Amino acid sequence: MSDLTINAPREKDVQRAGKFVFWAGIALLVLWVLVPIWFLFINAFSAPAEVTSFPKRFWPSFDLASLQFFWRFQGVTNALWNSVRVAVLTMILSIGMGAPAGYALSRFDFPGKEFFRVLVIMTRAFPLPLLALPLAVMFIRTGLDDTILGLALVHTMLALPFAVLITFSLFSGIPVELEEAAWTLGCNRVQAVIKVVLPLALPGIMASAVFAFVISWNEVFAAAVLTIENRTLTAFLLQSLNVSPLPLKFAGGAALVIPALIFIFAVRKYLFAMWGIANR
Amino acid sequence: MAEIVIKNVAKHFGAFTALHSVDLTIADQEFMVLLGASGCGKTTLLRIIAGLETPSEGEVWIGGRRVDHLPPRARGIAMVFQNYAVFPHLTVFENIAFGLRMAKLSQTEVDRRVTRTAELMHIEQLLKRYSGELSGGQRQRVAVARALAMEPDVILMDEPLSNLDALLRLEMRAELKGVLAESKTTTIYVTHDQVEAMSLADRISVMNGGYIVQADRPTEVYRNPAARFVGSFIGNPPMNFLPAKPDGAGRWLVAGLDFDGPNARAAEFAIRPEDLHPAESGLRAEVRVVEPLGPHVLVTAQVAGQPFRAIVESDRQIAPGETLTLAPIPERIRWFDPETQKALP
């Protein structure tokens, strides 16, 4: 009885402290993500003179001089165009290979299915730097070095596991009966997939394509190692980081982050679904 | 003309045998119901006929053509699924037209058939809607219309009414019977609901543990179960069973009473609850529970230590604890072999 009266206020304190830690943790995580984006945002949309000034204003002055400077900088448009081409090719390759694999995983039982699923994820277990050197040697031998296709192949390797797993969960969510109904109504297997499964899976496939695009868009290591002339934007910025003025860095950073952010935001529902978080 | 012949069909899933060498012939335009509890193999058999499952052994013939190696689309069948399988990305019109377009029919023919089947199923006002905008009953109608529009030789139905609520089920049942009789197709209908089976079927195949136990007209299945399982599965409440002791040639002693029976080494006595009536002499039943059902009263009792049910007229007051004397109608008594579980003549 006396224990209870002594413990009661303490428990309350513990609860309150726990709540504080919980919310402080959330705040920290949110700031961790948002503060760099905020810096990027205000510096990219401010005049070059303001970039180096202190204190910062909360809202940028929306002076486009930095971005104009970035746009006119030697090689930027070319690098941007390379980035787009590599990312689009990555998108096509990873969906072109990932979606059939995802379909097979969701619809067929075959020996080694579980092993294959593990293997798909295992491809992400090898650090890229480890692979980059042998890949570079191989690419030089086959003539794939410094090409859009070569880099897209490496990016496809990075994006493929996600493409397989996202499309696997997508196809698993489409009842088999719909396909069976299509078979009884005159379709063969391929026709049933084209007429019934693909229309239903299309939004999700688009989402996983966008995700592949973003992975390629943001990838810097392979891009820097495997290209010289045909640099993507990330590799280009990395290369010219030391020699470029601060406004250029911020404008370049914004050019990389903003499309990725917009794309990911647009497909967040499907990515949440993949990670097992309820749709919101 | 689409007679269906199933010869010696078996299906194994690994070590599990879902179907043991089933033989069944379904006549042209017959309404055959496959009835059984879940896991009895009825859906597996239907899916083998549809071509959605390959048999491990045996042959399937439809309309004089062996089809077990053919894909579903080449079998002249249409199927209605338990969860309806209405395509969510297509309108009701396009759902019904789906198979017709696959068959490359002309637009006028597609229009004609969709309109006709939609009218038949009373969904002509829903043709522009998507399945997300339909109720369960409406989806069911779309699924049936989609199958009928194909004008198939055979319609296969996998528990089509089990997801509907009770009242709707009753309504759809009557409607289905009318529509299917008119369409002159052969129908195979899978259900676990014996009332549905009784009311729809020309013939019922009662299935248990991967075997067809009895395939006969509904009244035959009800009145003359070929096996103890059929009697215990069909009827609500099911048949009563009592052990019998031999009492001379063709005579059997059941709960202290003497009955005429089969000439056999051992036998079990069986009677349906509604084939009993209170009388001066009969089986002595200790009443446990009394449930009034309106015109009748369902009495749950014990006879010779065995659970025993009777349905009697409600004109007499019966109380728990009382002892009733119940006389079976002699020509309704059935006998089963306790070893083989088969009916004795």
Residues B245-290 pLDDT 10s: 988 888 899 988 889 889 888 999 999 999 998 888 889 999 999 9
Q: For B72, name the nearest residue in chain A, comparing CA atoms only.
A: A184
List the Cα angle A266/A270/A273 in 5-degree steps. Answer: 145
- Percentage of chain A exceeding pLDDT 70: 92
pLDDT in tens, A244-258: 777 777 888 888 888
Where among A65, A91, A116 does a domain terminate?
A65
B72 contact residues in A (CB cutoff 8 A)? 180, 183-184
Partner-chain contact B150 A185, CB within 8 Å: yes
Q: Which DSSP category does A123 fall into?
A: G
Range of the domain at A99: 74-274
Residue B263 and residue B198 share a domain: no
Closest CA to B73 of B2, B152, B17: B152
| Structural domain includes residue A149 | yes
Where among A15, A31, A65 does a domain terminate?
A65
Residue A177 and residue A155 share a domain: yes
pLDDT band at A221 (very low <50, low <70, confident <90, very high): confident
Contact between B255 and B242 under an 8 Å Cβ cutoff? The reply is yes
A175 contact residues in B (CB cutoff 8 A)? 83, 85
Q: Tell me: pLDDT of A2 over 50.
A: no
Q: Tell me: pLDDT of A3 over 80.
A: no
Amino acid at B159: E
Q: Which DSSP category does A278 fall into?
A: P
User: Closest approach of chain A CAs to the CA of B293, in angstroms?
Assistant: 41
Mutate: best of A174, A185, A187, A196, partner B, most B CBs <10 A = A185
Residue A227 and residue A179 share a domain: yes
Residue B295 and residue B255 share a domain: yes
Residue A166 and residue A37 share a domain: no
Query: In this predicted structure, what is the pLDDT of residue A50?
Result: 73
Residue A139 and residue A236 share a domain: yes
Q: For A200, name the nearest residue in chain B, comparing CA atoms only.
A: B89
A192 contact residues in B (CB cutoff 8 A)? none
Contact between B110 and B160 under an 8 Å Cβ cutoff? The reply is no
Residue B308 and residue B165 share a domain: no
C-alpha B16, offset from chain centre: 24
pLDDT band at A5 (very low <50, low <70, confident <90, very high): low
Contact between A77 and A142 under an 8 Å Cβ cutoff? The reply is no
Query: In this predicted structure, what is the pLDDT of residue A275?
Result: 54
Of chain B residues 259-318, which have a CB less than 8 A from chain A? none
Instruction: Look at the block and give the residue holding tokens 């700031």.
Output: A31
Look at chain A and report how many structural domains it folds into: 2
Lowest mean pLDDT, pick from A181-190, A271-280, B166-175: A271-280
B83 contact residues in A (CB cutoff 8 A)? 175, 177
Query: In this predicted structure, what is the pLDDT of residue A280?
Result: 36
Partner-chain contact B51 A186, CB within 8 Å: no
B188 contact residues in A (CB cutoff 8 A)? none
Residue A78 and residue A34 share a domain: no
* A172 vs A182: CA distance, rounded Å: 17
Partner-chain contact B88 A177, CB within 8 Å: no
CA distances from B52 to B44, B47, B306 (A): 9, 5, 45
Choose the closest CB to B83 out of A177, A191, A195. A177
Query: In this predicted structure, what is the pLDDT of residue A32?
Result: 92
Of chain B residues 90-119, which have a CB less than 8 A from chain A? 98-99, 102-103
Average pLDDT, chain A: 84
**Other residues' Cβ atoms within 10 Å of the Cβ of residue B330:** 9
Where among A40, A65, A90 does a domain terminate?
A65
Q: Tell me: pLDDT of A61 over 80.
A: no
At A131, which CATH number?
A: 1.10.3720.10
* B159 vs B229: CA distance, rounded Å: 21
Give the strand pairing for B186-191 and B154-158: parallel
| Chain A / chain B CB contacts < 8 angstroms | 58
Residue A11 and residue A143 share a domain: no
> Does B88 touch chain A if contact means CB atoms closer than 8 Å?
yes
Query: In this predicted structure, what is the pLDDT of residue A7?
Result: 56
| Structural domain includes residue B173 | yes
pLDDT in tens, A138-151: 888 998 888 889 99
pLDDT in tens, A7-20: 556 778 888 889 99
Residue A105 and residue A9 share a domain: no
Query: In this predicted structure, what is the pLDDT of residue A1?
Result: 46
* B279 vs A156: CA distance, rounded Å: 86
C-alpha A5, offset from chain centre: 54
Residues with pLDDT less than 70, chain B: 1
- CA dihedral of A69, A75, A79, A82, whole degrees rounded to 10: 140
CA distances from B138 to B151, B169, B182, B210 (A): 20, 12, 21, 33
| Structural domain includes residue A280 | no
- Percentage of chain A exceeding pLDDT 90: 30
Look at chain B and report how many structural domains it folds into: 2
Partner-chain contact B78 A184, CB within 8 Å: yes
Residue A146 and residue A31 share a domain: no
* A10 vs A244: CA distance, rounded Å: 57
Residue B173 and residue B71 share a domain: yes
| Structural domain includes residue A86 | yes
* B181 vs B200: CA distance, rounded Å: 10
Residue B264 and residue B116 share a domain: no
- The string of DSSP letters for B126-189 reads GTT-BGGGS-HHHHHHHHHHHHHHT--SEEEEESTTTTS-HHHHHHHHHHHHHHHHHHT-EEEE
Where among B200, B226, B252 does a domain terminate?
B226
**Other residues' Cβ atoms within 10 Å of the Cβ of residue B67:** 21
Range of the domain at B35: 4-226
Amino acid at B303: V
| Structural domain includes residue B231 | no
Amino acid at A151: L
Buried b (16+ CB within 10 A) or exposed e, B7-45: bebbbeeeeeebbbebebebeebbbbbbbbeeebbbbbb
Classify residue A16 by burial, with Cβ atoms within 10 Å: 0-12, 13-18, 19+: exposed
| Structural domain includes residue B232 | no
Residue B273 and residue B188 share a domain: no
Residue B121 and residue B49 share a domain: yes
